[in-house]
């Protein structure tokens, strides 16, 4: 008898207790809010059953379906949306497909210059397509300066490179600071040397002072002229045996330069290339050329994305290369932008000549264009 009563009470109790729990939770929320420890997920997410258990998605390892013996290592020479062109050790180029979702989760998106492992599925025919299994660790990479948080992953533009080469013209079109500034910043942040190639020097008598200033802060510069052939031998020396990323604004004579260095590249110069049956360089998303004297140049249109530095002004102020030797922020105020703040260490160093004026000017230009 007693027992039954207990049961009844319990049932009633459970209904009430639910309501009481709910009220307690609300109170808790208030307390958390006051303490500043409030869970800021939307309310639906916080209490809904659906979200109680974290959903853990298992990533299938792409290599499970493949025979390890059949895999080969190769070099990525072009990257497209779902496929990449991989050059095998025997010199053949093959297409390898990759599932974007898988490589995204594994954080192994192939870029030009990557060494990768590819294989055909088990029992596949001879002409079956290859699949990308692994991107091998990179020795170096050119990365777009920008946010590194999870939601907007950093963008790798080219892998396993030794130097970044920026082609600029001194006239027709005039020297473009914006482009050079950003490349210098990216190269510096990636610890890669920057080589500045000044093309079309046949058009001018003397290098203008502003260009000279800029040249003083790059690692190396070479004056060339594709027209007269001046400086090309010196450039060959610099490129010899190295992997270089080559970039330049449209019209500076980059294609002319590639043609001069790699005769079989035959990029069209000046106007849109006529259809040559393959349309290779007009449609590919990236290209890698072997230099006849050793070394490679990577010329990828994706590099143009560097035109936008997605770095927030404060990050730029904290991490601009060359401002703080030893990486310690030494300005008086934590949010110093180095413009006119009191106690700014950067301004003091510019004044004393420790930081070149041209580097500081480059910083200001990037900061300006960002906002």
Q: Which positions lie near ligand GTP, rule CB under 6 A? A: 199-200, 202-203, 225-227, 248, 250-256, 269-270
Give whichever of 126 and 205 is closer to ligand GTP, judged by the CB atom.
205
For residue 241, say whether it is annotated as part of any ligand binding site: no
- The verdict on whether residue 200 carries a ligand-binding annotation is yes
322 and 359 Cβ atoms separated by less than 8 Å: yes
Which residue reads 């319990």 in tokens? 10
Place of tokens 């990449």: 84
Q: How many chain residues touch Zn ion (CB under 5 A)?
A: 5
CB of 285 to ligand GTP, least distance (A): 15
Phi, psi of 305 (to 5 degrees): -65, -15
In the complex, the smallest distance separating the C-beta of residue 198 from ligand GTP, rounded to whole angstroms, is: 10
Please say which residue, 76 or 336, places its beta carbon nearer to Zn ion: 336
In whole angstroms, what separates CA 66 from the centre of its chain?
30
Q: What does each C-alpha distance from 318 to 127, 315, 360 come to in angstroms? A: 53, 5, 13
Per partner kind, with CB cut-offs from 5 to 8 A, the member of ligand GTP, Zn ion, none near residue 261 is none
Pick from 165, 257, 297, 346: which binds Zn ion (CB under 5 A)?
Answer: 346
Partners of residue 90 on adjacent β-strands: none
Extract the tokens encoding 263.
């005769």
The answer to whether residue 344 forms part of the interface with Zn ion (CB under 5 A) is yes
Rg (CA), the chain: 29
Least distance CB 184 / ligand GTP (angstroms): 19
**Which of 159/317 has CB closer to Zn ion?**
317
Distance CA 89, CA 86 (A): 10
Give the residue with the Cβ less far from ligand GTP, 189 or 265.
Answer: 265
Distance of CA 369 to the CA centre of its chain: 19
- Which residue ranges are tagged as binding site? 199-202, 248-256, 331, 336, 338, 344
Site residues (vs Zn ion, CB under 5 A): 331, 336, 338, 344, 346
């Amino acid at each position: 008898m007693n027992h039954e009563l207990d049961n009844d009470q319990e049932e009633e109790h459970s209904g009430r207790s639910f309501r009481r729990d709910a009220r307690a939770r609300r109170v808790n929320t208030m307390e958390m809010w006051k303490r500043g420890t409030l869970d800021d997920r939307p309310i639906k997410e916080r209490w809904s059953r659906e979200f109680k258990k974290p959903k853990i998605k298992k990533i299938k390892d792409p290599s499970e379906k493949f025979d390890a013996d059949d895999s080969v290592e190769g070099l990525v020479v072009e990257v497209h949306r779902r496929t990449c062109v991989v050059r095998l050790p025997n010199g053949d180029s093959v297409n390898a497909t990759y599932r974007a979702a898988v490589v995204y989760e594994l954080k192994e998106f192939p870029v030009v210059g990557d060494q990768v492992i590819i294989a055909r599925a088990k029992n596949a025919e001879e002409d079956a397509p290859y699949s990308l299994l692994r991107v091998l660790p990179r020795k170096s990479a050119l990365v777009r300066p920008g946010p590194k948080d999870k939601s907007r992953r950093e963008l790798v533009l080219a892998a396993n490179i030794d130097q970044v080469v920026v082609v600029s013209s001194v006239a027709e079109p005039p020297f473009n600071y914006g482009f050079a500034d950003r490349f210098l910043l990216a190269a510096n942040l990636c610890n890669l040397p920057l080589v500045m190639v000044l093309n079309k020097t046949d058009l001018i008598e003397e290098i203008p002072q502003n260009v000279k200033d800029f040249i003083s802060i790059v690692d190396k510069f070479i004056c060339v002229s594709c027209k007269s052939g001046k400086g090309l031998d010196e450039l060959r020396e610099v490129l010899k045996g190295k992997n270089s990323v080559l970039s330049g604004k449209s019209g500076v004579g980059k294609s002319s330069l590639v043609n001069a260095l790699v005769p079989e590249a035959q990029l069209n110069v000046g106007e849109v290339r006529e259809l040559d049956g393959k349309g290779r360089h007009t449609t590919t998303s990236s290209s890698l050329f072997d230099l006849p004297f050793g070394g490679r140049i990577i010329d990828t249109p994706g590099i143009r994305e560097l035109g936008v530095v997605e770095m927030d002004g404060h990050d730029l102020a904290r991490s601009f290369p060359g401002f703080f030797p030893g990486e310690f922020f030494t300005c008086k105020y934590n949010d110093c932008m180095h413009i006119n703040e009191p106690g700014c260490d950067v301004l003091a160093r510019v004044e004393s000549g420790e930081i070149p004026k041209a580097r500081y000017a480059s910083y200001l230009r990037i900061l300006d264009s960002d906002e």
